[in-house]
Structure 1
Amino acid sequence: MTYRVCFVCTGNICRSPMAESVFRARVEEAGLADLVEVDSAGTGGWHEGEGADPRAAAVLEDNGYALDHTARQFQPSWFSRLDLVVALDAGHLRALRRPTEQDAAKVRLLRSYDPAAGDDLDVPDPYYGARDGFDECLEMVERASAGLLAAVREEVEGRAA
């Protein structure tokens, strides 16, 4: 049975596609690609149908990550097919926790999987800044991905048992 993870940011052109690309690479490296499905969406539909922000795409490419992305808006009906919804900041977390209590239990902040993150669990939005903000975003995503992979692996292995 496939375990489904969806990363969510504001417009689905910067942070969530970056998280999707990084985590997909980690899943593939771990040999879990047949068991874990990874995608992303935005809380709003402002960029629906567009590709990732060119700066996000460049940072991913420069760091060896593949990206094939078309922005879309998260739909509450998706909760029924998702196992984990990963928000990139507290605003996304609040927006996603509106549905049922059962659905809200599926939503976590990405940086909650990074033990070194401290109290600030937001991945800052790099959209209005320069390239270095995208580099910083990638670093945060990469650091949190190890803990997220461990949690997902545990869930997947628990299902198989």
Structure 2
Amino acid sequence: MMKVLFVCLGNICRSPLAEAIFKHKVKSIDLDGSIYADSCGTAGYHIGELADPRTRANAQKNGVTITHRGRQLQSSDLEEFDYILAMDQSNLSNIKRLSNSELYSEKIYLMRSFDPHPGEEVPDPYYGDEKDFQQVFEILDRSIDHFLKEIRAKLL
């Protein structure tokens, strides 16, 4: 089974949304038995908490349900997951710092490296408004479509 991990700072906005969108899309193409997805934060601010209410509302508006509870990235995640997708450069640096070697570098990516639209990072909508949460949904939706195309070829 292929394992995919989405990572942001607090695991209440971007990464749980990415996880939910990804799971929704994986299920729609009947690959939910072949791919496992999870999300976490590099910081432990929100361990055990549900995703931000604005994130959940935006996901629901777009037909996606989030049930994830926050957790913090663990060193064991680096070994367990096949793909680790960071939302921004800071997350990427924190993941690489935790790995403390180049051993896992080939499985760590920026989420937007799969986005056909220009941009390096998925912006954090935490201090924004509804428009910012929708923008993040659209970025993740596009990026995940292209990421899925890439990994689907490896599964078939």
**What's the TM-score bracket when you normalise by the shorter of the two chains?**
over 0.9
Shift of 1:141: 0.3
Shift of 1:151: 1.5
Once residues 154 and 5 of structure 2 are traced to their aligned partners in structure 1, the CA distance between those partners, rounded to angstroms, is: 15
Q: C-alpha offsets along residues 54-90 of structure 1, whole Å, 9 cap, x if unaligned?
A: 0000000111102111000010111111100000111
Answer yes or no: is 1:115 the counterpart of 2:116.
yes
Shift of 1:143: 0.8
TM-score by length of 2: 0.95
- Partner in structure 2 of residue 44 of structure 1: 43
Counterpart of 1:4, as a letter, is: K
- Partner in structure 2 of residue 68 of structure 1: 67
1:92-111 aligned at under 5 Å gives the runs 92-98=91-97, 99=99, 100-111=101-112
Q: Is the contact between residue 86 and residue 110 of structure 1 (CA under 8 Å) also seen in structure 2?
A: yes
More off after superposition, 121-130 vs 4-13:
121-130
- Partner in structure 2 of residue 149 of structure 1: 148
How many residues are paired up? 154
Once residues 35 and 115 of structure 1 are traced to their aligned partners in structure 2, the CA distance between those partners, rounded to angstroms, is: 25
Counterpart of 1:39, as a letter, is: D
Shift of 1:114: 1.3
- Partner in structure 1 of residue 34 of structure 2: 35
Once residues 101 and 65 of structure 1 are traced to their aligned partners in structure 2, the CA distance between those partners, rounded to angstroms, is: 35
Shift of 1:131: 1.5
| Runs of 5+ unmatched residues, structure 1 | none
Shift of 1:156: 2.0
Counterpart of 1:17, as a letter, is: P
Once residues 46 and 61 of structure 2 are traced to their aligned partners in structure 1, the CA distance between those partners, rounded to angstroms, is: 24
Answer yes or no: is 1:138 the counterpart of 2:115.
no
Once residues 50 and 66 of structure 1 are traced to their aligned partners in structure 2, the CA distance between those partners, rounded to angstroms, is: 16
Once residues 34 and 45 of structure 1 are traced to their aligned partners in structure 2, the CA distance between those partners, rounded to angstroms, is: 30
Percent identity, please: 39
Q: C-alpha offsets along residues 26-77 of structure 1, whole Å, 9 cap, x if unaligned?
A: 1111211000001100000001111000000000011110211100001011
Q: Is the contact between residue 96 and residue 104 of structure 1 (CA under 8 Å) also seen in structure 2?
A: no
TM-score by length of 1: 0.92
- Partner in structure 2 of residue 82 of structure 1: 81
Shift of 1:9: 0.2
- Partner in structure 2 of residue 54 of structure 1: 53
Q: C-alpha offsets along residues 90-128 of structure 1, whole Å, 9 cap, x if unaligned?
A: 111111112121212211011111122x2x210110001
Q: Is the contact between residue 13 and residue 53 of structure 1 (CA under 8 Å) also seen in structure 2?
A: yes
- Partner in structure 1 of residue 18 of structure 2: 19
